[in-house]
Structure formats: structure tokens, C-alpha cells
Amino acid sequence: MLDKKVAELLNTQVNKEFYSAYLYLDFSNYYVEKGLDGFANWYKVQAQEERDHAMLFLQYLQNNGCSVTLDAIDKPDKVFEGYDGPLHAGYEHEQYVTALIHTIYDAAHEAKDYRTMQFLDWFVKEQGEEETNAENLIKKYELFGSDAKALYMLDNELAARVYSAPSLVL
């Protein structure tokens, strides 16, 4: 059995990851409405990743004999004034998720729950990649976003992103 606090934090994370998927689908919808289908694709792929992250946490809890409680998912409420709005909001959100993962890791360490710490190692690495990707997207937009032709090329680059399911073994 998992430590009660660790199990509660993991369960909360399931719901946070599903919210992340909703948030990124909302970003995708924003870009579809703006005619930037590549940006929309990038966030649609991101939403798929977040859904799979939620499922990994859910499966880990179930594999350890814990019940999972699925809460209502909040509706994303971000309003953007420019094309870069979702990019900055996405970066901030990834930093928030990183902090959540670190909190769970700290609780697992305190409980000497080495199995959960090992499970979380993949997410710690993944969050580093997520933050880097979000930050790099902002940098690319800042370099090219003010030029329509360059924005078109960046949008085409983002359209090429494809989903790749995580390869974490539970």
C-alpha cells in the first residue's frame, strides 16, 4: 500500500493532468479559430500527451491497490489578446505541473516510498523536456512571429509534430 498522503497527491495529479489536456485542447481551439493550424496541431498533440500522463498516474495507483477518484475537470478560462498568449500560458502551466510533481516526489521521499520515487523519475525528466519545449516555442515565436512569412513557416513546422505515446513501464 502507498502512503496515504502520497496516494492522495497522485490521485490529485490524475485530475491535474486531465485538466492540462483540456487546457491544451482549448489552446488548440484558439489557434484553429485564428487560422494557425500548425500551432493548433502542436497543442492537440500536447493534449494527447497530458491525457496519457493522467492514465499513467491512474494505472500506477490501481497497480498499487489504490482507488482513484475522478473529479470534475475545470473549464479553461484563459482569454488571449495575441498569438503568443497561449505560448506563455503553456510555459507557466508546465512550470506549475513541475512543482506539483516535485511535491509528490518530496512526499514519497519523506515516506521512503522508493518505488513511487522511481515511477516519478520519468515525470521529473519529462517535465524538464516540457518546460524546454514550451520555452523554445516562445523563443521561436519571438524571433519569427512578427513577420507573416516567417509565422507561416513556423506554423508549417508545428504542423509536422506527431504524437508519440510515452514509453514508461509500470
Look at residue 121 and give its three-state secondary structure: helix
Cα 130 from Cα 104, distance rounded (Å): 18
Amino acid identity at 163: Y
Provide the 8-state DSSP code for 147. Answer: S
Residue indicated by cell numbers 520555452: 135
Which is the CATH superfamily of the domain at 4-70+82-159?
A: Ferritin, core subunit, four-helix bundle (1.20.1260.10)
Are the C-beta atoms of 155 and 39 separated by less than 8 Å?
yes
Grid cell digits, residue 158: 508545428
Cα 7 from Cα 13, distance rounded (Å): 10
Answer left, alpha or beta for residue 82, where phi above 0 means left and psi between -120 and 50 means alpha.
Answer: beta
Q: Three-state SS string across 63-118, please?
A: HCCCCCCCCCCCCCCCCCCCCCHHHHHHHHHHHHHHHHHHHHHHHHHHCCCHHHHH
Is the pTM higher than 0.85? The answer reads yes
Cα 45 from Cα 82, distance rounded (Å): 21
The residue count for the chain:
170
User: How many Cα atoms occupy the beta-carbon half-sphere of 119 within 13 Å?
Assistant: 23
Domain range summary for the chain, segments of one domain joined by +: 4-70+82-159
Are the C-beta atoms of 72 and 22 separated by less than 8 Å?
no
Cα 77 from Cα 69, distance rounded (Å): 24
pLDDT, average across residues 67-72: 96
Is the predicted pLDDT of residue 84 greater than 80, yes or no?
yes
Share of the chain above pLDDT 90, in %: 92
Is the predicted pLDDT of residue 167 greater than 80, yes or no?
no
Question: 3-54 pLDDT, tens per residue?
Answer: 999 999 999 999 999 999 999 999 999 999 999 999 999 999 999 999 999 9
Question: 131-143 pLDDT, tens per residue?
Answer: 999 999 999 999 9
